[in-house]
């Protein structure tokens, strides 16, 4: 079993839709969590950190469920420009980071 697992998708949604991705992790000692966005043939870019209390940044909401060991990313009112691969990252308190393989989102007009 992989340390960090994501549904690869692809998720194909119309503009304006709400879409959610989950990411599960196996190491219960994981301390910090992030979502990155990666456009085709580009480097990953930090989208948002994930806090225990949940956090929101505009149309994006990230949540953490420590009991079930997963994090989620919710995108509301999808835009064409949201089309990308979304990577979750899980860090242990020793600073070890593990990336998921990403979930591909395509937003269509």
Q: What is the DSSP letter of 99?
A: E
Q: Which of 10, 12, 16, 42 binds another protein (CB under 8 A)?
A: 42
Phi, psi of 82 (to 5 degrees): -80, -10
* Residue of 54, 55, 99, 106 interacting with another protein (CB under 8 A): 99
Which of 55, 69, 72, 91 binds another protein (CB under 8 A)? It is 91
CA distance 107 to 91: 29
Note whether 45 binds another protein by CB under 8 A: yes
Measured from the CB atom, the residue of 75 and 88 that comes closer to another protein is 88
Alpha-carbon gap, residue 73 to 63, rounded angstroms: 7
Return the ∠ at Cα 47 (arms to 46 and 48), rounded to 5°: 100
User: Which residues of the shown chain bind another protein in the complex (CB under 8 A)?
Assistant: 4, 31-32, 34, 36, 42-46, 49, 87, 89, 91, 93-102
């Amino acid at each position: 079993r992989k340390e960090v697992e994501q549904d690869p998708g692809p998720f194909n949604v119309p503009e304006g839709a709400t879409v959610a991705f989950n990411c599960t992790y196996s190491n219960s000692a994981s301390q910090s969590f992030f979502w990155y966005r990666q456009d085709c043939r580009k480097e990953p870019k930090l989208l948002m950190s994930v806090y225990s209390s949940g956090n929101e940044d505009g149309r994006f909401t990230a949540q953490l469920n420590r009991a079930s060991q997963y994090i989620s990313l919710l995108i509301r009112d999808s835009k064409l420009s949201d089309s990308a691969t979304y990577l979750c990252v899980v860090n242990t308190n020793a600073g070890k980071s593990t990336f998921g393989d990403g979930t591909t989102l395509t937003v269509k007009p």
